[in-house]
Amino acid sequence: MTEQTIKPTGELTLRTLAMPADANPAGDIFGGWVMSQMDLASGIRAAERSRCRVVTAAVKEMAFELPVKIGDTLSIYTDIARVGRTSITLTVEAWAQRSRFDKLEKVTAGTFIMVAMDENGQPTPIPAAE
């Protein structure tokens, strides 16, 4: 059986290093830390598209497939799946670059829904794509 090469989907939006402070006693990085990096990347990508402040409205369909270890480089890829009137739905993937093994593995994926906000904290229409 040959191993199929799977590659990240979307645009590389964020890269960071998994540090000991982000881990449990077994050396696995907390899932909440991984999810927060995915949320940050979603916010970056949605804010760039909407050209305004955005907030997280929902996270759906997220499952952790593999652990992230201390020393791994976590790369977050985002793909804009849908742009609504005031919301942006993104497909987000987290991949770990295993520095010790020179291996890139998908650790989790999820769907993040971000809402564009005006200066008063109210949902605001997203401009048409240029």
Question: Could you report the per-residue pLDDT of 18-52, keeping only the tens digit for each?
Answer: 999 999 999 899 999 999 999 999 999 999 999 99
Mean pLDDT of the chain: 93
What is the C-alpha separation between 113 and 87, in angstroms, rounded?
7
Q: How confident is the model at residue 2 (pLDDT cuts 50, 70, 90)?
A: very low
Q: Give the model's pLDDT for residue 1.
A: 40
CB atoms within 10 A of CB 63: 7
What is the C-alpha separation between 89 and 83, in angstroms, rounded?
6
Q: How confident is the model at residue 3 (pLDDT cuts 50, 70, 90)?
A: very low
Q: What are phi and psi of 35, to 5 degrees?
A: -60, -40
Question: Could you report the per-residue pLDDT of 65-89, keeping only the tens digit for each?
Answer: 999 999 999 999 999 999 999 999 9
pLDDT over threshold 80, residue 101: no
